[in-house]
Structure 1
Amino acid sequence: MRKTVCLFLLVLSSVLQAQTLMNKDSLLKLLPDVKEDTNAVLLYINIGQQYESNEPELAKAYYRKAWELSKKIDYPLGIIKFIANYTFVLNQQGLYDSSLYYNLKSVELSRQIKDSVYLAKTLFNTGTSYRALGNYEKAVTYYLEGQKLFAKINQPDKEALINDLLQVLYMDLHQYSKAITYGELSVKLYRQLNLPNNLGIALNNLGANYAFKKQFGKAIPLFKEALAISRKVNDMSMEANQMLNLGDAYMNFGNYDRMKENYDMALQLNRKLKAYEGEAIALRGISMYYQFTKQFNLAKKFGLDALAITESYNLVPEKSKMLNNLANISFSLQDIKTGYSYSQQSKLLQDSLLNETIQKNALNLEKKYQFGQKEIRIKQLETEKKLHELSLHQKNILNHILIVGGVTLLIISLLSYRNYKQKQKLQQQRINELETQQQLIATEAVLKGEEQERTRIAKDLHDGLGGMLSGIKFSFNGMKGNLIMTPENTQAFERSMDMLDSSIKEMRRVAHNMMPEALVKFGLDTALKDFCNEINNSGALKISYQSIGLENVTLEQTTAITIYRIIQELISNTLKHASAKTAIVQVTKSGSLLAITVEDDGKGFDTKILDWSKGMGWVNIKHRVDFLKGRLDVNSQLGNGTSVQIEVDI
């Protein structure tokens, strides 16, 4: 739920009345003739108020003009009024740190001019800034000091505002029943006073309290009334808040169409206002709508848009929520890895927010403790000067204990964080190892299946078809001596026999390529020599084969076959694509390292095409190198040939 806290806008009642009577154009017409005095300051502020609901950046620009002029003419009340109006816009934009900075300056200036009315107002504004930053103790301190000053002023509108502020404060403390009590009083007073802007804010906050108690039947009418007021007074910021609140309420009711309608309008308004937190919330709401309606890709799109905004403007709590939503969306899309990543990021942010809260509380407690110690020390010095040294000694010991305790806590925190990161790293490493292992198992199965099938086909060709063709040739030779043929028939018979011989040779060549007999019987070195000699004898390419350290070396059969296929595929690529005349095949074994080099003097190519190449030859080469857990390096330039180096641990 979005909460709205009304800041005191420090302008005189007469100016407020002029604002209601004059429109924006009338005020702008006064600018050319205005003199640099207090009236000009009030005019700039009045113009800024006309823009703050719909064009906040333009409003801030006019407020800054009022500030510059107030400093120039030494008008402290003008500076206080600038701060009150400027911080109102900053709060609407979620810039609470900047708002607190200016409000503290305003309190200091009000104390200097000794104006109790303005001091009371600036104290409440500062308390509101502290409340927005989660420092409730400081907020209560400033509220109570301001309340004491307001008690001397009989003004019902201030009483209504105080009740609304207390409503929001107890809302932040999750004491919703108590907050509702103050909220009902505030709404009642504002209805009697007929102050629509303030009534809209109080209705919004009261509706939020009912929503937090899951009483949406009571919350929705309040939000709708606040929405009607915002449109009546042309307050776009309030309207955007109501759209977000209604979207959330309808989501809890399960009315997703109304939910989407309100979040869409909230998105448009917040973008126009440049209210980045509201824009992120609206995008998250739309993403959740698509998630509920099982349109997960659209849900992911809007979720990523919301995440980008939270990262750009450091909206940490909203970022944590959006990461959690994206995790759920990714799981719905069966993207477990991405979902797990988003989930872990969300948990880290939640832990970070919790740690910040703990650190703030620890610092506050430490400050309280130190302040208490100083008071005790002063009293001791006033009553017994003789205990001064003892008291100082005790304080030093205590400080040392605190320092040691703090250092110890810091070390424990760092070690815990380091341990957590290490576990996370090991988990990710294990996942990567499992993925790699699965890929290698799959590749091994494919390669073994492929070689088994090649062996079977080669055997079938050699033993089956080869035997049949040889039998046919033998039969034809037997028939030749028993037949009487004309010269023409004899010539045709001889051509047929030649064609049969060529078929037998081609069948043997194919069978040999599918599973070289030399590789199985004599090993890799002999098989590669035979392969290169066959290419040389064909005249298609001149290959120089060199082997070092392979004599009397027996490799595991799967490894030997895989290396043979890699070199066979590389030479095949050279024959098909390189237009080369010569090539070198070099295989070197040194210890457990086997180095393979295949070079040619062909036309070369741009190696970048390998990044997106989908040719089966190149894909097979990479898969086989990966299967052997080897390293592959390709160097080539247009016109300068190609060199491929492969290293494998065997």
Structure 2
Amino acid sequence: MKKKLLILFANLLLWSTVSDAQTKELDSIKVEIAKHPQHDTTRLNILVDYVLNAVNVNTSQALPYMKEVITLSQKLGNTRGVQIGYIYLQLYYADRGDYSTSMLYADTAFQILQKDTNQFAKINAAYLHNNLGGDYLKMGDHESAIDHYLKAANLLEQYHKFEPSATVYDGLASLYDELLQPGKAYEYENKAINDAEKSGNKALIARYRLNYSLRLIKEKKYAKAESVLNKAAPLVAKTNDLTAKASFYEVRGSINLNKKQYQQAIEDFGVAYKTGQDNDDTYKQIALIDPLIKALIAAGKMAEAKKMNDTLLQKSISFKMPSGQVNAYDNSARLSFLQKDYESAYRFLDQKMRLSDSISSDEMRKKITLMEVRYKVGSKDREIRTLQAEREIQQLQLRQKNIFTNVLAGAAVALLIISLLAYRNYKHRQKLQQAKIDELETEKQLTATEAVLKGEEQERTRLAKDLHDGLGGMLSGIKFSLSTMKGNLILTPDNAQAFERSIDMLDSSIKEMRRVAHNMMPEVLVRYGLSAALKEFCNEIDRSGVIHASYQSVGADAVEMEQTTAVTIYRIVQELVNNAIKHAAAKNVLVQLHWSGSEQLLSITVEDDGEGFDTARLRQSSGIGWNNIQNRVEFLKGKLDLSSAPGKGTSVLIEIRIQE
């Protein structure tokens, strides 16, 4: 929304004659257009009025009117109308994710704006730079985003437009925050505050000071954050700006929570949350419920914490914000753990991890899609520059030919041959560059997948260690204390029997906790390798009686591989065996590892005698499990072959090349 507001502000300056009409409904403006079919300045003003209002509601009906603004402005010789038309077309296609078309209109707009030395044209160029900065940021091209943001800020400061320049600097601060460069983020946040102070807009000053405080809190610099908060407090009180008010109480709540002043923190976060509701800011509501819940838990108000956590889960699902769901499941696990309901705690942690995996997969797909868009935009830019260069060369050749046609015919033929050879050479270089770009794109995708898998395993390892060392130690201590008490107490037979049952239940809890910790990160895998871990895994499944599990290893016991590879293969087998148990109704499952030293090839086979299924169903399936298996196999650059049919069981063969 920030980008649209900047454009609207620019055009209010450029097109003051239509400012009073912007409050009209779109339908009523369309009626006015129909009433005035003459192609004159009056119709142009009405068209601009419609486009100006249509951008705010993001309607696709505005496209033909945008194009008519350009054609009519060109006919009337109205330069500013042409500028506005191309800027709105850039914004229109960017909002719909068509960045290739958006960049074409941006290039045309810049060419027109560069020819106009008027101050309003320069300011419009600044807003266009700001728009492009936001588009490149969405595509992951941080370098280009920074370049356009800085150009926008410099132009706006040059013409003393401090409110929008402050907004641009705040955007740069957020960008550097995303790049994990807090020094740069603080630098540009301070610039945003300085320009806001120059503008005299108290609400804007308060907002950016509070943004600065929030960044300080992220760095655990609570004392400095409180100092900045105190400076912003009078401005928040004067302006009653809802965005600033919500941020103020959020910052103060975080500071009080750090001071362990839990009741005050609860009140502050409550006011911040209520303000987010009043401002209809769904993102702020979700972001503020979580710290409120943590303050309630810290204050020991478990019932209120559970009630707010239910609200967080409900709103996160309603607003389609999965990050809020992850926080809700994490809070539910913590509340269950504090209430010693360990089974529910484990269930909520499992839900959290599954949802986190799903979010990571979705984010990865989005990043890959944006990288493809970014590459297409870059390719079109190169293509445009090449076509422009070739057009200039052709024009020069035509001029030379008209002058020297009869005298230098031989030279013209030679020049044509050289041009053809140069073009052929250029096309060859372009193919090589394309191949290199494809290779780099693949490497980036693999690197990103590796980072996701490593992060997942690190989190599993941490949780396993916390369960084993923390909760396991506590349960063992409790068992020891109860066993000691048993010898010192005189109990009736019924009480003695109940006491024994309690100790037996505690033993079962310790075993279950160790089983959960072992599944998260098997110690055998870390110490003795993949083959030993899979053998132990199959033995445990077999001992449980759920299914008869067999393990065979052919030459795979002594294979050495990176731990990341071993963990990934272990997770694949674990998921396949779980699928056989959950979905196949199988009685037997076989896991086999075969190592071919000559080919450096590791074959993994998982077979079951279950119900089987039609493999074509997988293409319509939206399940996370099978997608995770495919992603892991692709990460290892392996091959996957699935064979199954109704009533004939299922067999999965995976082949992976291992460099010892």
TM-score, normalising length from structure 2? 0.46
TM-score, normalising length from structure 1? 0.47
